[in-house]
Amino acid sequence: MKTIVWDVDDVLNDLMRDWFAGAWLPTHQECKIIYEDIQQNPPHDVLGISREEYLKSLDAFRAAEGSKLLPVPEVYEWFQRYGHLFRHAALTAVPLRAADISAAWVMKHFGRWIRSFNVVPSPRPDDVHPRSTQTKKEFLACWGPAHILIDDSLANVEGAQQLGMRGVLFPRPWNRSQTNRSETLEQLNAGKN
């Protein structure tokens, strides 16, 4: 049985879309861009703000609304149909102070299938913690055998591929995915055997 490692934010859920609609747009009514215009992640340059301002807003949204996020419907349906055919782990890059919110969310919505929750801390200026691994590639290199990584970051997908894993790019406006969500998830089924 193969192991799929799932990114959490913007793969299992729609964090960026929900943050943009629920936190950014209501407080920036002059904003003329739409979600599909967010061609980079993090989107601070697109929004004309500093990276720190973006992270502060995202972190506040995650703290207030993170537990209320809904799963991406296509992903949840895929798990219901095919989840039992694989082993699953979550690997997310979040600030350590938000890891409990993310872990609880994963267990609430995907705990039937995902039994391992892992964090590569996303640094914040005021965080003080040992940094044993700084990238998902570094984590995967020492974690153990896994076969597929599905992530919205091209750099993370390429890192997994450099380790000999299959990397599947989940479509978002900021990456170069040429497939829709359903087509992307069907790629996972090709790896059953």
DSSP string of 25-59, one letter each residue:
HHH-TT----GGG--SSS-HHHHTS-HHHHHHHHH
Number of H helices, E strands in the chain: 9, 5
Locate the domains of the chain by residue range. Answer: 3-14+70-189, 16-68
| pLDDT tops 60 at residue 193 | no
Contact, 117 vs 90, CB < 8 A? yes
Q: What is the pLDDT of residue 129?
A: 66
71-98: pLDDT as tens digits:
999 999 999 999 999 999 999 999 988 9
Q: What is the pLDDT of residue 189?
A: 87
More confident residue, 176 or 37: 37
Share above pLDDT 70 across residues of the chain, in percent, rounded to a whole number: 96
Share above pLDDT 90 across residues of the chain, in percent, rounded to a whole number: 83
Q: What is the pLDDT of residue 128?
A: 66
Cis amide linkage into residue 73, ω under 30° from 0 = no
The torsion angles phi and psi of 187, rounded to 5 degrees, stand at -60, -30
Give the pTM: 0.93
CATH topology of domain 3-14+70-189: Rossmann fold (3.40.50)
Q: How far apart are CA 69 and CA 18, in angstroms?
A: 8
Q: How far apart are CA 179 and CA 170, in angstroms?
A: 8
Contact, 31 vs 47, CB < 8 A? yes
